[in-house]
Amino acid sequence: MGFKMGIVGLPNVGKSTLFNALTRTAAAQAANFPFCTIEPNVGEVAVPDARLEKLAAIARSKQVIPTRMTFVDIAGLVKGASKGEGLGNQFLANIREVDAIAHVLRCFEDGDVTHVEGRVDPVADAEVIETELMLADLESIEKRRAGLVRKLKGGDKEAQQQDRLLAAAQAVLEEGRPARVVSVDAEDRKAWKMLQLLTTKPVLYVCNVAEEDAAEGNAQSARVAAMAAEQGNAHVVISARIEEEISQLEDAEAAMFLEEMGLHEAGLDRLIKAGYDLLHLETYFTVGPKEARAWTIRTGTAAPQAAGVIHGDFEKGFIRAETIAYEDFIANGGEQGAKEAGKMRAEGKGYVVKDGDVMHFLFNT
C-alpha cells in the first residue's frame, strides 16, 4: 500500500526542515534561500503508536516493527506556478501523486529568513497556493474534456462518467472553490479519485512557528486554525526548527528537551497522527514472540483485504481471522489469557477490522 503525504508550500517556509526532522536525516537540503529544493525528496516515517510497545512487552517479542507512511518534500510553489512560474508544472506533477497534502505555512517572524512575498501572512500564503492548485486543476480539466469529445460522440460510458465528474469539478473551480467541495456519490468515487485533481486531496495545514511559540502557538497560527475550521481542514502547530533539533537527540534526551519546552509530545508525532487520521487510516497488529508489528489499513477494510496488506496469498487463501481487541489483549495479559477469557473471536470474510485489533490469519495456499 504505502500512503504518501506531500509537503507543500511557498519557498523557504520550512518544508525541508520539517522533512528532515520527520525522516531523522539531513537528506533534504534545507537552507535560507527560496527554491532550495528542486527534486522531491522521499522518506519513510514510522507511525508512532504507544500500543505497539505494550503488546510487544507482553508477548516478549524480539522485534518491534511500526507501520510506515511516506512523506515527500516537494519544491516550493509560487504565484503563477500553474503557468510555469518558479519550478512550474514539474512539481505539480509531484503533488498529483500523493494521497494528501501537508501544507506548510510560515507563522514565524525572522528578519533573516527571506519570505518570497516580503511579509508574514499565512492565510494569504495559503490562498496563493490554493489558487495555483485550482488553476492547475482548471487547466487540466479543460485539456481532458477536450480529449474526451470524440469518445463522447461514440457514446462511451466511461467517458461520459469522466466528463460529468470533470464538469462538476470545473463548475466549483470556476467559482473559486476547490474541487474537494463537490459531493460525490458512492458509485462515482473510484472514477473521481482517478481524476487525481490537486484540490480534491485532503489538506493538513502545518503552522510552522518560532521555537518559543511551539507550545501555545501564536496569533498567526490562530488565524490559520480559524481558516482550517471554516474549510473543514485539519491543522497542527509545530516548530520545524525545534523538531529538527529534537530529531538529532537520543530518546531520553529528547523527552527531557520536550518537557523543558513545555511540550507533551513531539510535534512530529502529532503531525504524523493527524496525517493518518486525515487519510482515514487505522492500525491492526500481529503479535508473537518473533515480532510485534503494526499494519496500516483504510477504515472499513474487511479481514481478507487487511490480510492482503501482509501478503497477497493471505487474502487469496483467507479462511478466517483469530481476533483479539487491543484492550482485551492487554487486560488479559496476552493471547493465552484472552483466549481463556473467551476474548478471542473467530472472524470470517465479512468482518470489518477495527483499529487496534490483534490478528492472526488462517489461510491455505
Ligand X SMILES: Nc1ncnc2c1ncn2[C@@H]1O[C@H](COP(=O)(O)OP(=O)(O)OP(=O)(O)O)[C@@H](O)[C@H]1O
Residue 142 backbone phi and psi in degrees, to 5 = -60, -45
Q: Does 283 count as an annotated binding residue?
A: no
* Residue nearest ligand X, CB atom distance: 76
The span from the CA of 138 to the CA of 93, in Å, is 14
Q: Smaller CB distance to Mg ion: residue 238 or 306?
A: 238
**Cell of residue 132, nine digits:** 495555483
The reply, when asked if residue 37 is annotated as ligand binding, is no
Contact yes or no for 286/357 (Cβ under 8 A): no
Give the nearer residue to ligand X in terms of CB position, either 107 or 292.
107
13 assigned to a ligand binding site: yes
Question: How does DSSP classify residue 302?
Answer: B
d(CA 284, CA 47): 12
Pick the piece of the chain touching ligand X (CB under 6 A) from 5-13, 131-139, 284-292, 338-346: 5-13
SS3 call for 243? helix
Per-residue binding string, ligand X, 23-62, x by CB under 6 A, is -------xxx-xxxx-------------------------
* SS3 of residue 103 by DSSP: strand
**Residues contacting residue 81 through CB under 8 Å, at least 6 positions apart:** 87, 88, 89, 91, 92, 132, 136
Residue 299 is labelled as binding a ligand: no
Q: Which is nearer to ligand X, 81 or 302 (CB)?
A: 81
Candidates 3, 5, 12, 328; binder of ligand X (CB under 6 A) is 12
Question: Residue 61, annotated ligand binder?
Answer: no
- Binding flag, residue 97, ligand X (CB under 6 A): no
Q: Rounded to the nearest whole angstrom, what is the least distance from the CB of residue 40 to ligand X in the complex?
A: 10
Q: Please name the residues in contact with 165: beta carbons below 8 A apart, sequence gap of 6 or more.
A: 184, 188, 191, 192, 195
Secondary structure percentages of the chain, helix, strand, coil, to 5: 45, 20, 35
Judged by CB under 6 A, which of 85, 110, 158, 259 binds ligand X?
A: 110
Question: Which member of 43, 76, 86, 122 binds ligand X (CB under 6 A)?
Answer: 76
Nearer to ligand X, 76 or 275 (CB): 76
The H or E element containing residue 22 is helix 15-23
**Whether the Cβ atoms of residue 46 and residue 293 lie closer than 8 Å to each other:** no
- Distance, CA of 178 to CA of 228 (rounded, Å): 14
Q: For ligand X, what does the binding mask look like between residues 225 and 264, x meaning CB under 6 A? A: --------------xxx-----------------------
Smaller CB separation from ligand X, 14 or 122? 14
The residues binding Mg ion (CB under 5 A) are: 15-16, 36-37
User: How far apart are alpha carbons 94 and 74 in whole angstroms?
Assistant: 7
Minimum CB–partner distance for residue 90 and ligand X (Å): 13
**Do residues 267 and 236 lie in contact, with contact meaning Cβ atoms separated by under 8 Å?**
yes
Q: Confirm whether residue 17 is marked as ligand binding.
A: yes
Instruction: Give the range of 106-114, 146-154, 303-311, 332-340 binding ligand X by CB under 6 A.
Output: 106-114
Q: What residues line the site for ligand X (CB under 6 A)? A: 9, 11-17, 30-32, 34-37, 75-76, 108, 110, 113, 208-210, 239-241
Residue stretches of the annotated binding site for ATP? 12-17
